[in-house]
Amino acid sequence: MLKPIPQSKSISDQIVEMLGLIYGNWQMSVTYVFAELGIADLLDDESKSIDAISSATDCNIDEMTIVLRCAATLGFIESKSKPGKYTLTSFGRLLTSHHPMSQRAAARLNGAPYRYQPWGNLLEFLKTGTGKNISSSHRLGTLNYLSDKPELAKVFHAAMTNLSAGQDDIISAYDFSNAKTIMDIGGGEGTFIRKILNKNPHLNGLLFDLPQAIQSAKKISKDTASKNLSYHEGDFFESIPSNADVFLMKNVIHNWPKDKSVLLLQNVRKAMMDHSTNTSSDKKLLIIEYIISDDDEPNIAKWLDLNFRLLVGGQERTEDQYAELANDAGLRISSVIKTGIGRHIIELKIK
pLDDT band at 189 (very low <50, low <70, confident <90, very high): confident
Most confident of 36-45, 114-123, 138-147: 36-45
Residue 6 has pLDDT above 70, yes or no: no
What's the number of CA atoms in the CB half-sphere (13 Å) around residue 206? 19
The pLDDT of residue 141? 83
pLDDT band at 168 (very low <50, low <70, confident <90, very high): confident
Cα 145 off chain centre by: 17
**pLDDT tens, 335-350?**
999 998 789 999 999 9
The pLDDT of residue 166? 67
The pLDDT of residue 89? 98
- The domain locations on the chain are 11-107, 113-159, 165-350
Q: Which of 316, 350, 349, 344 has the alpha carbon at shortest distance from 174? A: 344
User: Would the pTM of this model clear 0.85, i.e. be above it?
Assistant: yes
Q: Which of 70, 72, 76, 74 has the alpha carbon at shortest distance from 96? A: 76
Q: Which residue has the higher pLDDT, 250 or 274?
A: 250
Q: Which DSSP string do the residues of 183-251 spell out, in sequence order?
A: EEET-TTSHHHHHHHHH-TT-EEEEEE-HHHHHHHHHSPP-GGGGGEEEEE--TTT------SEEEEES
The pLDDT of residue 238? 96
The pLDDT of residue 57? 98
d(CA 29, CA 22): 14
Percent of the chain at pLDDT above 90? 70
Mean pLDDT of the chain: 91
Angle between helices 24-36 and 104-111 (to 10 degrees): 120
Cα dihedral across residues 168, 174, 180, 182: positive or negative? negative
**Count of other CB atoms within 10 angstroms of residue 145:** 20
Asked if 86 contacts 48 with a C-beta cutoff of 8 angstroms, the reply is yes
Q: Is 338 helix (H, G, I), strand (E, B) or coil?
A: strand
pLDDT band at 221 (very low <50, low <70, confident <90, very high): low
Asked if 283 contacts 272 with a C-beta cutoff of 8 angstroms, the reply is yes
Q: Span 111-117, mean pLDDT?
A: 92
Residue 142 has pLDDT above 80, yes or no: yes
d(CA 186, CA 261): 13
pLDDT band at 234 (very low <50, low <70, confident <90, very high): very high
The pLDDT of residue 275? 64
Q: Which residue has the higher pLDDT, 282 or 246?
A: 246
CA 130, 135, 139, 144: dihedral to nearest 10 degrees? -150
The pLDDT of residue 276? 61
Asked if 184 contacts 248 with a C-beta cutoff of 8 angstroms, the reply is yes
**Count of other CB atoms within 10 angstroms of residue 287:** 29
**pLDDT tens, 39-89?**
999 999 999 999 999 999 999 999 999 999 999 999 999 998 888 899 999
d(CA 251, CA 249): 7
The pLDDT of residue 1? 57
pLDDT band at 133 (very low <50, low <70, confident <90, very high): confident
pLDDT band at 220 (very low <50, low <70, confident <90, very high): confident
pLDDT band at 232 (very low <50, low <70, confident <90, very high): very high
The CATH code belonging to domain 165-350 is 3.40.50.150
Residue 307 has pLDDT above 60, yes or no: yes
Q: Which of 221, 146, 229 has the alpha carbon at shortest distance from 187? A: 229
pLDDT band at 296 (very low <50, low <70, confident <90, very high): confident
Asked if 236 contacts 260 with a C-beta cutoff of 8 angstroms, the reply is no
- Which CATH architecture group holds 11-107? Orthogonal Bundle (1.10)
Percent of the chain at pLDDT above 70? 94
User: Phi and psi (nearest 5°) for 247?
Assistant: -105, 145
d(CA 199, CA 172): 9
What's the number of CA atoms in the CB half-sphere (13 Å) around residue 75? 3
Buried b (16+ CB within 10 A) or exposed e, 35-56: bebbbbbbbbeebbebeebbee
